[in-house]
Copies of this chain bind each other. A is one copy, B any other.
Amino acid sequence: MKRAKTKIFHDFIAERGLKSTRQRDIILEAFLVSDRHLSIEELYLHLRAAHPTIGYVTVYRTLKLFAESGIAREFQFGDGQTRYEHVAEGEHHDHLVCVRCGAISEFSNAAMEAIQDEIAAAQGFIIQHHKMELYGLCSACQR
């Protein structure tokens, strides 16, 4: 799946007449290897260890491109930082966010998505995307 996302992004770059650069490849690799919901700052700091010359702005712009190309989703979990995760085509899940430790876990529920469609249909509304997040205490933080 990492290979698939890499291809999707490279195709996107080609289609748009953009250029393939060393920085984009490095950022893409680091992003795909992570299984976290990374903020720009976090990914930038992580990269800086091995690649001190890559700038914050390049990480920022590249994550935006990932989202545009379809290999990433952008989130606001309310901690003041925009976060990104890589997702496979057609895949979808929502999140549980621990308000104490910040841990983020995932779930996917067909019944819930079906209800959303019903609600929208009832109001003649066409859904483009949605936000479904449960905030509270993860099991580890309940002690």
Given contact pairs A76-B78, A119-B107, A131 touches B128 in the complex (Cβ within 8 A): no
> How many residues of A are counted as interface, with CB atoms below 8 angstroms from the partner's CB atoms?
33
Within 8 Å by CB of A130, from B119, B126, B135, lies B135
User: Is A133 an interface position by the 8 A CB rule?
Assistant: yes
Count of identical protomers in the assembly: 2
Q: Which positions in A face B, CB cutoff 8 Å? A: 76, 78, 96, 98-99, 105, 107, 109, 111-112, 115-116, 119-120, 122-139, 142
Measured CB to CB, the nearest residue on chain B to A140 is B124
Return chain B residues, CB-CB under 8 Å to A109.
115, 119
Within 8 Å by CB of A129, from B120, B131, B136, lies B136
**A136 to B78 Cα, complex, angstroms:** 21
Query: Once the chains bind, are A134 and B142 in contact (CB under 8 Å)?
Result: no
Query: Once the chains bind, are A107 and B130 in contact (CB under 8 Å)?
Result: no
Measured CB to CB, the nearest residue on chain B to A107 is B119
Measured CB to CB, the nearest residue on chain B to A111 is B115
Return chain B residues, CB-CB under 8 Å to A127.
134-136
A-B CB contact pairs (8 Å), 10 listed = A96-B123, A99-B128, A105-B123, A107-B119, A112-B115, A123-B138, A124-B138, A125-B138, A126-B136, A130-B134
